[in-house]
Amino acid sequence: MNPAQLDLQLAAINRILEGTGTVIDIKLPTEAQKTRGRPKGAPNKPKTTLRDPSAFKHVEKKRQTLPRWMNLRCCTLINIAYIDQFILIIFFYSSLYLCLCSMSP
């Protein structure tokens, strides 16, 4: 509701509360509403035909199963990769620091 409509509605409510407004009776509908009702849905088809089991063939697995240590969640593997990178970075900077310290007099 925009402010102009809100002001009109509040003014009408205030007139009713003060007793100066008019109240109109709302008439109920004389007959029931005509609705479309529940949808019929899918027709029930007879299930007399059975599937031929020989039409299906068994397919071998394309992927090999992962080793047990790799059956971790993806986020855990990513965290391990980040930890490995972090350790490498620390090792690199510590070795660089040791080289610089050994070079200074």
pLDDT tens-digit map of 11-53: 988 888 888 877 788 888 888 888 888 888 777 777 666 777 7
Note the residue count of the chain: 105
Instruction: Return the pLDDT at 30.
Output: 87
Q: Are 27 and 20 in contact (CB under 8 A)?
A: no
User: Half-sphere exposure (CA, 13 Å, Cβ side) for 2?
Assistant: 1
Region 53-61 average pLDDT: 75
CA distances (Å), origin 103, targets 90, 93, 100: 20, 15, 5
Mean residue pLDDT across the chain: 73
